[in-house]
Each structure stands twice: as structure tokens, then as C-alpha cells.
Homo-oligomer: A and B are copies of this chain.
């Protein structure tokens, strides 16, 4: 790397350092590294080699080193990476030190599960508001939060500094909700409804479609079945272990 920028810990607030533009594939893996690092820290490890961390995150070690090298030089040759330092670095890059406020729209079957999930809090997020269009749901309390009517969305987004919206409404309502979220100022959306959302430039959308995941698995089942029917029998060509993202 060209510039040596060592003692630059995240605690060093103030001027934003030249923001590195990481490859999208790298970004998608950083959260995985982060999770593995937290496990290691909890297990008492102070340092970890790229080989060890790669194994814990389920990736190739060369890939991991290249990914980490993009954020700067935070490893020590002959030793490995300082676990806590790396955690801080990755959390800083991902913007998790800000504990982003999230709004969830559509408190049905799935939304209920998401709202009641405490795993988000430990990974940098606070679900601060729940919304639904069904007056039957409005007023109910889930995990300490009261479900509000979608009409209040705009005000809540501004007041609570919400930047991320999660959509777990039926697909027919998703585009409308997305429009409302964007109009209110949300610039990132996680969509669980199986449909394509159209949003203005500058707004990021990620989609999670569970049926698609199953369908991809189904394809591989189909492929495997047609292979075993052919000569050669079951060869076993390496279990895929792919993240869902990227």
C-alpha cells in the first residue's frame, strides 16, 4: 500500500479519512469476517492468522488477505491480525459504530419474527419503529415497541433519524411502501417481498427471497439426481458453501 496510516483507530473521530472504495464482493464478506472475529474474541483469542480467520469465515485465506488489505495494513507479518483492532476497523468501515436506526414495515407473520429478534441489536442495528396498515395490528406491542400506522412513517423517519427500512408486507403493497420510505428520507431498503422495487438513484435496495434460495437448491438437487443416473455414480464434487448476498 502506498500510505502508511497506522494508529488510525476508529475512535479517531473528526475528519472522515479518504473513504476506500472496496470491491462489492469484499463488502459482502466483511460482515462474515466480523462475525467470526466476534466469536474469536469471545473465545479469548488476541490475534488470528489469515488462515485461521478464513477457516472460521468459510473462505479462502488468500481472498481474505486481499479483502483485508483493501482496508489498510492491519496485520503483522509472522503473527497475524489483532482481533480487537480488526473488529473496530471493520465495524467502522461498515458504519456499525453508529448503531443505525431501522424501521420495519409490515408486522405480519415474518415481520413479527424480525421485530422480536434480538440478534440485530448485537450486530449494530436498532429497530426503532414498527409500522402496519392494518388497524388490527396498530397499537400492539412487540418487544417493547408499539406498532404504528404507516401514516406516521414520514414523521418517525425524520424524528428518529431512520436511514434503513425493512419491508415485510405482501408484494402488492411493497412498491407503495418503498415509495413512502424514500419520500420520508430512507436511503436503504431491505425487501422481503418477492417483487422488484423501483427506486430513485441513490437509494440502495437489497432483496431477500427465501423461495429463490430454495429454488436454487432445487436446481442442484435436480442436477445431482440426473448425474447419479448417469455412469460415474455419485462423484461428490464439493459442497457449495455460498453466502447469500453478493
Contact = CB atoms under 8 A, between A and B. Distances in A.
Interface of A: 16, 19, 21, 27-28, 30-32, 34-36, 56-58, 93-96, 98, 100, 102, 109-110, 112-114, 116-117, 119-120, 123-125, 163-164, 166, 187-190, 194-197, 199-227, 229-230, 234-246
Contacts of A204: 217, 220-221, 239-240
A190 to B, nearest CB: 5
Contact of A188 (B32, B164, B221): B221
B243 A212 contact: yes
B238 A242 contact: no
The residue among A210, A223, A234 with the most chain B CB atoms within 10 A of its own CB is A210
Given A30-B219, A204-B239, A226-B16, A35 B245 contact: no
A195 B238 CA distance: 19
A16 B229 contact: yes
Given A211-B31, A214-B120, A112 B113 contact: yes
Contacts of A197: 241
B236 A202 contact: yes
A33 to B, nearest CB: 11
B123 A211 contact: yes
Q: Which label, helix, strand, loop or mixed, suits the secondary structure of the A interface?
A: mixed
The residue among A30, A197, A201, A237 with the most chain B CB atoms within 10 A of its own CB is A201
A37 B61 CA distance: 41
A141 B166 CA distance: 29
A214 B220 CA distance: 28
Nearest to A28: B216
Given A234-B202, A242-B246, A125 B227 contact: no
Contacts of A190: 210, 213-214, 217
A124 B218 contact: yes
Contact of A239 (B94, B201, B210, B222): B201
A167 to B, nearest CB: 12
Contact of A164 (B116, B218, B223, B239): B218
Given A95-B222, A119-B211, A206 B216 contact: yes
Contacts of A225: 95
A218 B16 contact: no
